[in-house]
Chain A
Amino acid sequence: DGGITQSPKYLFRKEGQNVTLSCEQNLNHDAMYWYRQDPGQGLRLIYYSQIVNDFQKGDIAEGYSVSREKKESFPLTVTSAQKNPTAFYLCASSIGQGGAGELFFGEGSRLTVL
């Protein structure tokens, strides 16, 4: 079955630690995205990539980093510079700029900072 796989589902981090969230897709989509979801707030875009080896900052990129070395993979690193990292993180993909805007989401990763 085609889809997006995020791991881990739940992650606990101590302050000052970097953590990496995995996102893999087998939909053959060109574009991939990372969103952050906080209670009562809309999804906020962290980073996106429309092609391998290229990515752009979204609205809230500070304290995060990404890479796109393979079409299928778009890992997100939450660095110690992110002041409020506790949130639900969603990875998504879409067929690209010419698509109908439909995003396909993974099941999310919940990060809690202890």
Chain B
Amino acid sequence: QKEVEQDPGPLSVPEGAIVSLNCTYSNSAFQYFMWYRQYSRKGPELLMYTYSSGNKEDGRFTAQVDKSSKYISLFIRDSQPSDSATYLCAMSPRIKAAGNKLTFGGGTRVLVKP
């Protein structure tokens, strides 16, 4: 079993819909959670990060962490065709951990249709 599980998709939604993405994990030591967005044939870029449990909002994006269920989510409101990308979750047992301490999910491909 992988340490971080993520549905590969693709997840296809109409423009304007809410996109709901999630990752489950098995390591209860994880406390720092990130979402990266990766456009086709490009490198990932950091979208959001959050510590421990709770919600964090940034514009149309909301990240949620439920440590008791070992489950994190990313919601994209009012989705746009430009949101079409692969979304990768990443996590670490340490706050502000370096890249060698990160564990990545496999990514979910999202298609937002006009």
Q: Do A and B bind each other?
A: yes
- A interface list, Cβ under 8 A from B: 4, 31, 33, 40-45, 48, 50, 56, 58, 90, 92, 94, 96-103, 105-108, 110
- Give Cα A108–Cα B86 distance, bound, in whole angstroms: 15
Q: With CB as the reference atom, state the residue of chain B lying closest to A58.
A: B100
* Interface bracket on B: 20 to 34
Q: A42-B106, A45-B99, A50-B98 are in contact. Are A101 and B92 (CB under 8 A)?
A: yes
Contact of A100 among B4, B8, B49, B103 (CB under 8 A): B49
Given contacts A98-B96, A101-B96, A108-B43, 14 further A-B contacts (CB under 8 A): A40-B8, A41-B106, A42-B4, A42-B104, A48-B98, A56-B100, A58-B100, A92-B43, A100-B49, A101-B101, A101-B102, A103-B99, A108-B41, A108-B42
Contacts of A108 in B (CB 8 A): 41-43
Contact indicator per residue, chain B 80-111, by CB within 8 Å of chain A (1) or not (0): 00000000101010011111111111110000
- B interface list, Cβ under 8 A from A: 2, 4, 6, 8, 32, 34, 36, 41-46, 49, 88, 90, 92, 95-107
Contacts of B97 in A (CB 8 A): 101
Q: With CB as the reference atom, state the residue of chain B lying closest to A38.
A: B106
Contacts of B107 in A (CB 8 A): 40, 42
Contacts of B104 in A (CB 8 A): 42-44
